[in-house]
Structure 1
Amino acid sequence: MAIDHHGAPTPAPPLATALAPERRIGVTGIVFFVVAASAPLTVAAGGIPQSLGVTGILGIPLLYLLIGVVLALFSAGYAAMSRRITGAGAFYAYTAQGLGRTAGVGAAFVALLAYNAMQIGIAGLFGSTTAQFIDSKTGVGIPWWALVFACTAVVGMLGYLRVDLGVKVLAVLLLLEFGTVLVFDIGQFADAPHGVSTTPLTWGAATDGSLGVALCCVFAAYMGFESAALYSEECRDPRRTVARATYIAVGLIGVFYAVTAWAMISGAGTAQATRVAGEQGPEMLFFLSDRSGGLGPVFSDFAQLFLITSLLAALLSFHNAVARYVRSLGREGVLPRALGVPHPRYGSPHRGSLLQTALTFTVIAVFALAGRDPVMDVFTWLTNLGALGVILLLLTTSAAVIAYFARRRDLAEPLWNRLIAPLLSGVALAVVFWLALTNFSVQLGVSADNPLRWILPCLILIAAAAGVAWGLWLRRARPDTYAGIGSASGR
């Protein structure tokens, strides 16, 4: 029996709508999905050089650790909610339980926009990177959009099939990613031209430059960490697994990225690292590995190949997240209920997977026909849009945690988890969201008067408003459906 946000009981959904009832995924499997969404090699090749070159801040390693602390604070309340709400639509369900059903639908629409934008944006980068790699090695020119279509078909097939198949694929891809970046880090520390300095770990270095933009860049590297709760219906012992996986993922991502940023700074030379990053951009990792005595061109070739697999892993992770949101909303009648029916054989959210695949094909086709650049337009526009939406969802969820436990003082949850940690994370996330919004033109690489800096953020507001309006309509026209919003598995 579920409990709605007024404390009244609501019926649980039929068992036929449950995903993968044998619960195949453990802590390790969920960590694979979470870390894959963050794409470690993609961050090393693109995110870290961008952070250094655009902002001029040498203390990027420390900022990775500080953002990790903020997200660890967020995870305290998030994990507390996951022990009581095990629905696949995490942000949607938590917001509905804490701030009300109408707000929950608004959060769901923002989540669908944000995750789809991230997934399709990464697809653009995959197409461009893969096309360049093939051309450089074989001389064969393949259109970037054709490669995206092929990749989308593969990802869609994996999303359609059993979830543990996706876990196995991600496990292999992530081991290749981590191994590549680890070898790179060791090589840069060993061959640092001026030795290894602790300056990048100091507060002065972290605040000497465009701090607002740097925080946004660093925060984007964590995208996907919050997706652990999306798999709560498919994991063993969800009330413990989700919390453990979230904490492990945040710690692993934070430390790994901080060390890698420090290694890149050391390899480039602390005094000129920001200049090298500005000049080399996404080629910085390969530039440094080529000139490193212990690595060389062969390593760079493998790193470029594994960068492609890194993007494939991120695509699979975000695809799975979207499919589970669609399934959760379909199950509760917010979207057509047919979307909430799992596959009779695989137990997967196959209809949500098919819908996301079709959407990716459509959007990529529109960009390709318009002659837009896959990196400067598809990747930059859509991933920044998605990141902004996720930051807003994290902020909303922090407020929802506080409201949820404020009405349930009888629940045995420490004050730290129910109030202090979500309050601290909420304040920090509000600051990051404001900085992201006011520096959005820098993130997009456009002038301050370019209308894109407002058009894209307005899409988030439109999605939220549409969700709220739809929730209000459901309350009036379909009260039975409205009564079950976000409370299918609340405890």
Structure 2
Amino acid sequence: MADTTAVPQEHTALRPGALGVAGIVFLVLAAVAPLTGIVVVASIAIALGNGGGTPMSFFIVAAILLLFAIGYAQMSKQLVNAGGFYAFVVKGLGRTGGLIAGLIATLGYNFFVVGTIGTSGFFMQAIIRDLTGFDMHWIVWGLLSIAVCFVLARIGVDFSSKILGVCLVLEVLMLVVFDISVLVQTGYDVAAFSPEAVFSGSLPIGLLLAATGFLGFEATALFSEEAKQPLRTIPRATYTSIIAIGVIFGVTTWAVVSATGVAQAQTTALEHLPTGDLIFSLSAQYLGGPLTTVMMVLLLVSLFAAMLAFHNSATRYLYSLGRARILPHALARTRRNGAPALAGVVQAGFAAIVAVIFAIAGADPILILVPAMLGFGTLSVLILQGLAAISIVTYFRRRQDPRWWSTFIAPGIGFLGIATISILAVINFDIVAGSSEPVIRMMPLLLVLAIIGGIAYGAYLKRAKPVIYDELATDLEKFSDR
């Protein structure tokens, strides 16, 4: 029998070389959930944002994130670590800054998974009931979904990426069929890109809501320790993900506003906002009843894929913070296949318990649970992106890097864009969260508590546990030369 003294090193390591560019892109785009994004995010952006000019909002956000990604790619070549943006912030803003980022990321991603339990459960109950007559409470469907996600994640991240790849291809294929149908029957109206359309309604709200459609692209760095040739794979996966998201959302939204009429798009979207069926109504018109039914089923697939992707991401933040001993070190234990062991249990368990509490309280999943969880998760990730952007600029300026465009100008512009969107998210949190309830509007205060807690915890570690405090940085160096 093997000596147990050799076990900790072996069982706290992720599986290297498990993912290529395609695998990581599948994990990222699955979290974005293109079909869900069009059905939910794009519809709301058209209704509350800049109406017929919404396609341009998606392209503008894509441009901002691509500028950020230029610096992100340079940083990815310096650092390979499962901590994602937490690791980036440690490099740029120091240990305490990284600690704050880690706490914000952990809160945001774990809340995201709770929200996906609500959305998956609600739509599974509604759609399966309508199609089959079988009616089961949303919390049961939601818990079954997270249980399946947990099992798939434990099998291994490479297996998850294959499952997500299939889901992604199916939902994107459905959107492509819809786009082509609109193109053939109606054509695309270039008026969507006219100044009158772009600046109609509220462009700031349009940009804010469009930005929520890109949430998840930052997960590329989380899988760097499991990537093949990570110094090349992560930058390529990041560029590919942002471009793919921009094209999918931009073109499909263009098809939607062309189908409704650019000038009438906002009015039409507002009429369908209470029922959330704008896309399904257009699908019935352009694809017919049978394909609309297929779209409804694929929406369930899309929601499940997003849950699996966010579960993987949240688990890796718990794993990374456990390995750095910010959280209990037991969270760093992995299975023989490299999948995080206890971190996955804690993540799925936390999400399930919170969702059950909401269900027992009789809270409506769509009106209360989902807006609160996804709204807060959205704001958390936006703040995390902003911290990462300024960290990249700071890191390379300290090193006096001569590549001004890729390490200062581009990521600096990206930071300004992300910071603007983040401020808009705080000011308009009721729109982001889809609720004006006082309790929900106060949720951004949790981020203030995370900042205060991070500063206090960092000071405590530096004074009382200097070895662990040092590990916040040295842990990163163990992987940065791979």
Same fold (TM over 0.5): yes
Alpha-carbon distance, 1:15 to partner: 6.3
Counterpart selection for 1:69 from 63, 67, 71: 63
Supply the distance in 1 between the matched residues of 2:178 and 2:195 (Cα, whole angstroms): 26
Alignment of 1:6-85 (within 5 A): 17-21=12-16, 23-85=17-79
Counterpart selection for 1:349 from 340, 353, 356: 340
The residue number in structure 2 matching 1:460 is 447
Alpha-carbon distance, 1:17 to partner: 2.8
Instruction: Tell me if the contact between 1:17 and 1:341 (Cα under 8 Å) persists in the aligned partners.
Output: yes
Alpha-carbon distance, 1:16 to partner: 5.2
Instruction: Tell me if the contact between 2:48 and 2:201 (Cα under 8 Å) persists in the aligned partners.
Output: no
Supply the distance in 2 between the matched residues of 1:336 and 1:375 (Cα, whole angstroms): 34
The residue number in structure 1 matching 2:351 is 360
Residue aligned with 1:110, SS: helix
Deviation digits for residues 41-85 of structure 1 (CA, Å, limit 9, x no counterpart): 001111111111123522110110000011001111111111111
Deviation digits for residues 86-120 of structure 1 (CA, Å, limit 9, x no counterpart): 11011111111110101111110000111111221
Counterpart selection for 2:208 from 195, 206, 216: 216
Alpha-carbon distance, 1:264 to partner: 0.7
Supply the distance in 2 between the matched residues of 1:446 and 1:31 (Cα, whole angstroms): 32
Residue aligned with 1:270, SS: coil
1:379 is aligned to 2:366: no
Instruction: Tell me if the contact between 1:323 and 1:350 (Cα under 8 Å) persists in the aligned partners.
Output: no
**Following superposition, which runs of at least 4 residues in structure 1 exceed 6 angstroms of deviation?**
none
The residue number in structure 2 matching 1:6 is none
Alpha-carbon distance, 1:279 to partner: 1.6
Alpha-carbon distance, 1:463 to partner: 1.9
The residue number in structure 2 matching 1:283 is 277
Deviation digits for residues 180-231 of structure 1 (CA, Å, limit 9, x no counterpart): 1110111122222xx5310112333122112222111100000101100100
Instruction: Tell me if the contact between 2:11 and 2:338 (Cα under 8 Å) persists in the aligned partners.
Output: no
Supply the distance in 1 between the matched residues of 2:52 and 2:239 (Cα, whole angstroms): 27
Deviation digits for residues 256-276 of structure 1 (CA, Å, limit 9, x no counterpart): 110000101111222322222
The residue number in structure 1 matching 2:325 is 333
Aligned positions, number: 469
The residue number in structure 2 matching 1:3 is none
The residue number in structure 1 matching 2:5 is none
The residue number in structure 2 matching 1:122 is 116
**1:440 is aligned with what amino acid?**
F
The residue number in structure 1 matching 2:264 is 272
Give the TM-score, by structure 1 length: 0.93
Give the TM-score, by structure 2 length: 0.94
The residue number in structure 2 matching 1:396 is 387
Residue aligned with 2:91, SS: helix
Residue aligned with 1:100, SS: helix
Q: Identity of counterpart residues, as a percentage?
A: 36
Alignment of 1:253-272 (within 5 A): 253-272=245-264
The residue number in structure 2 matching 1:234 is 226
Instruction: Tell me if the contact between 1:121 and 1:379 (Cα under 8 Å) persists in the aligned partners.
Output: yes
Instruction: Tell me if the contact between 2:106 and 2:314 (Cα under 8 Å) persists in the aligned partners.
Output: yes
Unaligned runs of 5+ in 1: 1-12
Alpha-carbon distance, 1:453 to partner: 5.3
Instruction: Tell me if the contact between 1:104 and 1:486 (Cα under 8 Å) persists in the aligned partners.
Output: no
The 1:336–1:64 alpha-carbon spacing in structure 2 relative to 1, beyond 3 Å, is: same
The residue number in structure 1 matching 2:417 is 428
Instruction: Tell me if the contact between 2:171 and 2:302 (Cα under 8 Å) persists in the aligned partners.
Output: yes
Alpha-carbon distance, 1:446 to partner: 3.9
Residue aligned with 1:70, SS: helix
**1:475 is aligned with what amino acid?**
K
**1:482 is aligned with what amino acid?**
Y
The residue number in structure 2 matching 1:7 is none
